[in-house]
Amino acid sequence: MLEAGASLMLRDVARNVLRRECLYAGTRSLDTPVAGCEDAHLTYRDLLPDTFTPADDIAARELDALARAEAAAVFDGLSFRRRLGLLAKLEGVPLYDDELLALCNCRKSMLSREVRAALAELPKYLQQRYPGESSGDIRALAVAVLRALGNEIISWVRVENLLPGLFQ
């Protein structure tokens, strides 16, 4: 009886120590790269929400202004295919859409490669333009540039009246 009671107490103590000191199965560090985003060096810590202050609002406006200027420069260097492919990707239009492929004069695999190449070149371009900036700042700028680039491309598509059924 004493042995049974002692083993129950020892089991409870061991369970409490393990609960306090050991990680649960499947626990990941916040500094672990997000699956599929290893090239962008995106970690789970980057995905956590942060507090926002008025100074951050000013910085966000400066970032948007810088992003619009960079988006205009990137836009000028994009081919017709890349412009339409990026816009389709940003607007949720499938890259296998027949009208889109006919206008781009290529197959889905080629358009997909063009989009991937354009998305891969953007961080490299920004890193060259701003070599002293941290990778977090470059990521934030890349996201802002991509958003501004989408707006730039949609304006171009509307002026050129390309695929009005897809991009309204």
Predicted confidence (pLDDT) at residue 127 exceeds the cutoff of 70: yes
Confidence label for 167 from pLDDT (cuts 50, 70 and 90): low
Is 144 within the bounds of a domain? Answer: yes
Phi then psi dihedrals of residue 43, to 5 deg: -110, 165
* pLDDT for residue 151 is more than 70: yes
Task: Name the domain count of the chain.
Answer: 1
C-alpha closest to that of 125 among 58, 76, 62 = 76
The 10 Å Cβ neighbour count of residue 5 is: 9
In a domain, 4, yes or no: no
Residue 63 is assigned to a structural domain of this protein: yes
Tell me which residue of 110, 106, 108, 115 sits closest to 153, measured CA to CA.
Answer: 115
For residue 62, what are the domain limits?
A: 28-160
Is residue 165 included in any domain, yes or no? no
Region 91-105: mean pLDDT is 88
Greatest mean pLDDT among 26-30, 32-36, 86-90, 145-149: 145-149
* Distances, alpha carbon 26 to alpha carbons 15, 17, 29, 31, 79, in Å: 18, 19, 10, 14, 44
pLDDT digits (tens, 9 = 90+) for 36-85: 776 777 888 877 776 767 777 888 889 899 999 999 999 999 999 999 99
For 11-47, how does the pLDDT look when each residue is reduced to its tens digit (9 = 90+)?
888 888 877 777 677 777 778 888 777 677 788 887 7
Q: In this structure, is residue 14 part of a structural domain?
A: no
* Residue 114 and residue 85 in contact, taking contact as beta carbons nearer than 8 Å: yes
End-to-end, the C-alpha distance of the chain in Å comes to: 79
96 occurs within a structural domain? yes
| Residue 78, in any domain of the structure | yes
> DSSP letters along 122-147, please?
HHHHHHHH-TTS-HHHHHHHHHHHHH
Q: CA-CA distance, 62 to 104, in Å (whole number)?
A: 35
Structural domain includes residue 126: yes
Is the pLDDT at 168 greater than 70, yes or no? no
